[in-house]
Each structure stands twice: as structure tokens, then as C-alpha cells.
Amino acid sequence: MKIAIVDPGSGNLASVLRALERVVAESGRPAEVAVTTEAADVRAADRIVLPGQGAFAACRRGLDALPGMVAALQSSVIDSKKPFLGICVGMQLMAQRGLEHGVTPGLGWIEGEIAPMDPRDAAGAALPLPQMGWNGLDLAQPTHPLLAGIEPGQHAYFVHSYALADGRAGQLLASTDYGGAVAAIVGRDNVAGTQFHVEKSSRVGLRILANFLAWTP
Amino acid sequence: MLALRVIPCLDVKDGRVVKGVNFLELRDAGDPVEQARLYDREGADEVTFLDIGASHEGRDTILDVVARTAAQVFIPLTVGGGVRSVEDMRRLLLAGADKISVNSSAVADPALVTRGAEAFGSQAIVVAVDARGDGKGGWEVFTHGGRRGTGIDAIDWCRQAEARGAGEILLTSMDRDGTRAGFDLALLRAVRAAVRLPLVASGGVGEASHFVDGARAGATGLLAASVFHYGQMRIAEAKAALDGAGLPVRPMAEAG
């Protein structure tokens, strides 16, 4: 199995690579994991992971700057139905558009747009922003294969100031509570995305990555 | 509910763990990678490395420490000490750090915060503020490991850090650091009221109830070094105190 980690040029992919290498090693099934900026590697891969950090618009520009990459993603993920996992801004890029630094089109694989958060507590006081830290997962689709072995309330590591808005209920796999429900995992068909950093979410995150590698949507 | 973060800090010099009392006396006490792994297993929510030697000498040893840690510890890793440029940040991030903390260099060149945030995202940039009471009810920013006063108001500097794109404030009370008398709660409240950023309290932890006090004063992360490093307190005790006070924590059972 070949797993391609697409580098949109936004920063540190070492953590995603190391986490996937760990999960592959623990799975006992051989797999090649590699970070790439080449469209050909995405076309040749069996599974595709798109991490992303920083701003939505910058990540989209980074993807667009890789020759043939967006077309390769559309072809591999939508036409060939390869399992796809977006992480953090990589998950956000799956939406129809992002509203960070102007309106930027997303990949359009998930309904909704990525809008600024303004979380408030029950008394209306502003909660810290970005949401940074470990928050519990409320499982909307607990029987989804990506959530195998994940218990309701287990924590994942979030860092974000923007979140999916106007999403469709059926595509929400899990949410978290930060002044109201926030999309934590989305998915449909062969695509999924985690708003949190699955590679930094300790055992919970590694389990979700292992589930992704075993996923046969 | 977002959990309070319990964050052990490892002071590192020449690739080894040290801890100074009030930053000046140093004692060598171990391998930072092993320490970080232990903290992860014990339920730490993040680990912070502070490269204390970095202001004075070469800092390649920390890159190796970061890379070896990131290969084994799958929780967020913050690294600070001697970071002077976007290139320094890039090297640490590529080695496996998730967040870079800047202190003296950001005071000297506040635009460094903006350049870092533009290059890597705000989430990767922590502004570390070392503050000392000015005797008039306010706090002054100190740099260079607490040795040098700047005349800058700490609350104003936190506001500026937020405006310049920082993703988090790491706030250390130089008055409390090494004293075990608890966090400077007045300082925490003042910064909490001034910025919306996540706020990590540092300096002064001596007992588990201090974590509760810090959280109630507005900290979203609670950092300690020596009490954990010398085994006077375990991560679990800090979390039990927070949990017992009705504050949200990530349970030990989910540790790495």
C-alpha cells in the first residue's frame, strides 16, 4: 500500500509522517508512506492524506502552485474513490469555500464553508481563540469505521480559529463543544477530515489513523 | 469542554535537561527525550523544551532532541530559547516542533512574531513573556532569561503580541519562578482581561492546588518544570486536583 502525504507548503509535515509510520509499523502490514509535492505520486497512491496549517487561502495557493495537484486529487479521490483524509486546514480545504483572508474556493467535497469562530460561554463571555488544546469528541456516527475503538468523550488536540459552518448533518461524524457544537470529523463516501491534529492526539489520534489505513469505503 | 492543559517544561542545555532556580543555578539531570516520553505516558497534555543555552551558544543539539522526541511522543511539542529568525523557527518545525516560543528576540523585533505567523500560521507562534512586578501594581517585561529589564509594560506587550499574530501567550512570573509559592494570579488575571489568546501560566508551582488557582485566574494551560522534574509532583496529581475542583481535564487513561 502506498500512502501519499500531500505537502501544500504550509509547514511541518514531519509529525504526520512520523505518526503514520508508527501506525503502519504497529499494523504489521507493509506500506510506503511518503510526503510529496508531485501529482504523479498522488495518482500512484492507494491512500491520500492532506495536512494543512496556517491560513486556508495560503494552503489553497500552495496546492494550486503544485502542477497538476488539484486535478490529481479530484481524479484520485472523486473519480477513483481512493480513501482520503484531510487534517486541520486539510480538512477545511474539503469544504466549498473558506472565508479566511477573503473568499477562497475549497475542493468542494464537503458542504459548507469555513468561517471565523466567535465562541462564547453560557454567560456570553468570549472564550479564548484560537481553540487550543484537548477537547472531547461527541460521536455523531459512532459506528463509522474511522471511529472504531473511539469512546464518546475521548479527547483530541485542536488548534483553530475557523470552523466548518452550514455543514450538512449527514456528513458530520463527530463534533466537539467549544461554546457550542464545532465540527470535529466530517466525512462522506471515501473522504474524511479531522479538524483536530490527529497526529498530535496521542492514542486517540493514532487509532483514527489506523482506522483510516484499514478503511474500505 | 476544552480541557485545561498540564504542561511539563524541560529546560535543556547542550542536549541535557537542567533546571535553574530563578534561572541562574543549573543542575544537570537527564535525557530530555526520555523525560518527554515519561511525561507523555504520565498524561502530560503537551511538552515544552526551553533551550537555555541557546542564547549563548550553538543550538544544533536541540534539533536532535526535538527530532528524537517527535518520533516517539505524539502530543504537541513547544520549543523555545534562542529563536531569532524565521529560519530558526523553520528548522525547529521541520525537526518536529509544533509550536515555537519567542521571547527576547520578539521584544527586540516584534515584527518577528508577524513574520513567523505569516510563514507558519499563528498556531505555531507562542510569545513567551517573562514579567516581574514593577512595585507600582504593574509588571515589566524582562528578557535574556530574566536578567535584563526592558521598561516595557507586560500587559501592553501581551496585547501587542496578539495583534501581531501570536497564537498563544506563555506567561512566566519572574517573581514566582523557583519559589513554589504559586502562580502570580494578579498577573494572570490582568493578561486574561487584556487578550483573548490561549494563556499558559508559568512560574511558581509548588503544590497541586496551584494548578486550580491558575485555571481559575484564566490560564488555559498550566506549566511547571521543577516540581515535575524532581518528582515532587506527578502529572496525575495536578490533573486530579483540577478534576476535583470541577475543571475539565483529559483523563490519564487517554495518555500515550
| Complex confidence, ipTM | 0.95
CA-nearest residue to A56 within chain B is B121
Partner residues linked to B76 by β-bridges: none
HEC states along chain A? CEEEEECCCCCCCHHHHHHHHHHHHHHCCCCEEEEECCHHHHHHCCEEEECCCCCHHHHHHHHHCCCCHHHHHHHHHHHCCCCEEEECHHHHCCCCEECCCCCEECCCCCCCEEEECCCECCCCCECCCCEEEEEECEECCCCCHHHCCCCCCCEEEEEECEEEECCCHHHEEEEEECCCEEEEEEEECCEEEECCCHHHCHHHHHHHHHHHHHCCC
Chain A residues with CB under 8 Å of B199 CB are: 128
Using one digit for the tens of pLDDT, what is the confidence trace for A119-139?
999 999 999 999 999 999 999
Average pLDDT of the residues in B114-136: 95
CB-based contact B122 A161, cutoff 8 Å: yes
Domain ranges for chain B: 5-245
- Residue B2 in contact with residue A129, Cβ under 8 Å? no
**In which domain, by residue range, is A40 found?**
2-214
Which residues on adjacent β-strands are paired with residue A165?
A113
Q: Name the minimum distance, in Å, from the CA of A10 to any CA of chain B.
A: 6
Give the distance from CA A22 to its chain's centroid: 18
CATH code of the region B5-245? 3.20.20.70
Residue A42's beta-bridge partner residues?
none
Query: Measuring CA to CA, which residue among A112, A109, A103, A173 is closest to residue A144?
Result: A173
Does the structure show a pLDDT above 90 at A25? yes
Question: Where does B144-187 show beta strands of DSSP type E?
Answer: 148-153, 168-173
Q: Per the structure block, which three cell numbers stand in for B1? A: 469542554
- When divided into structural domains, chain A yields a total of 1
Residues of A in contact with B255 (CB under 8 A): 202-203
Q: What is the mean pLDDT of residues B58-73?
A: 88
The pLDDT value given to residue B27: 42
Best probe of the A interface among B100, B250, B252, by most A CBs < 10 A, is: B250
d(CA B86, CA A13): 17
* Least-confidence region, from A47-61, B28-42, B118-132, B162-176: B28-42
* Burial of residue A141, with CB atoms counted within 10 A of its CB: 0-12 exposed, 13-18 middle, 19 or more buried: middle
CB-closest option in A22, A133, A203 to B3: A133
Confidence of residue A10 (pLDDT cuts 50, 70, 90): low
Q: What is the CATH number of the domain that holds A100?
A: 3.40.50.880
Task: Identify the pLDDT of residue B19.
Answer: 56
Among the listed residues B11, B88, B98, B175, the single catalytic one is B11
Mean pLDDT of B195-202: 98
| Angle at B169 (CA atoms; ends B168, B171), nearest 5 degrees | 155
Lowest-confidence segment of A11-15, A25-29, A114-118 by average pLDDT: A11-15
Residue B124 has which C-alpha cell?
505555531
